[in-house]
């Protein structure tokens, strides 16, 4: 009887350690921009807070798209430039707010269907230490932060550079 009790306690404690590690990364405010027509790609924005040790967002997946990429955006003159990141470093205590036009965002490459306002879909983010964390993304209406003459490189063929941000 004692051995069984110890095994149950050990399994319980292992479960708590896994839960605590996953809770060190908090995902909040996950939204995606509604798409128009047959746009092949979409963008998701969220807040990531690291309440634990240094970590990094390595990749992601979703049934809403063929693949997920972590991107950064910058303006060069009147042209919006996108760059795919190999990973996104998250220092202990750091919070990253992904917002339209603010730089870092999640690209949903190869959408399976258009993203309609009110739709929801799961997004799994893979972290170096915290592992896989799933969140739900809500599709909302957002204005495109573009001016006359700007090019947005995600609406067809686009090239980007791979790198990492910290």
At 105-127, the pLDDT tens digits run 999 999 999 999 999 999 999 99
Domain positions in the chain: 25-165
| pLDDT at 18 exceeding the cut of 70 | no
Query: Is residue 57 a contact partner of residue 127, using CB atoms and an 8 Å limit?
Result: yes
User: What distances in angstroms separate CA 157 from CA 18, 39, 113, 152, 160, one per listed residue?
Assistant: 41, 12, 18, 10, 10
At 51-72, the pLDDT tens digits run 999 999 999 999 999 999 999 9
State the pLDDT at residue 23.
Answer: 75
- Tokens 């067809």, located at residue: 156
Residues 6+ apart with CB under 8 A from 9: none
Domain 25-165 in this protein, CATH class: mainly beta
| pLDDT at 15 exceeding the cut of 80 | no
């Amino acid at each position: 009887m004692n051995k069984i009790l110890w095994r149950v306690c050990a399994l319980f404690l292992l479960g708590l350690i896994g839960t605590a590690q996953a809770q060190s990364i908090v995902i909040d405010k996950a939204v995606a921009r509604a798409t128009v027509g047959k746009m092949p790609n979409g963008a998701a924005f969220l807040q990531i807070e690291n309440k634990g040790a240094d970590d990094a967002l390595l990749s992601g997946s979703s049934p809403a798209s063929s693949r997920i990429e972590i991107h950064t955006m910058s303006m060069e003159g009147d042209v919006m430039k996108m760059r795919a990141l190999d990973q996104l470093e998250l220092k202990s205590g750091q919070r990253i707010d992904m917002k339209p036009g603010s730089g870092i965002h999640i690209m949903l490459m190869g959408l399976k269907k258009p993203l309609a306002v009110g739709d929801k879909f799961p997004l799994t983010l893979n972290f170096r230490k915290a592992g896989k964390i799933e969140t739900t993304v809500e599709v909302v209406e957002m204005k495109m932060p573009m001016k006359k003459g700007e090019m947005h490189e995600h609406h067809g063929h686009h090239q980007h550079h791979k790198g990492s941000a910290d």
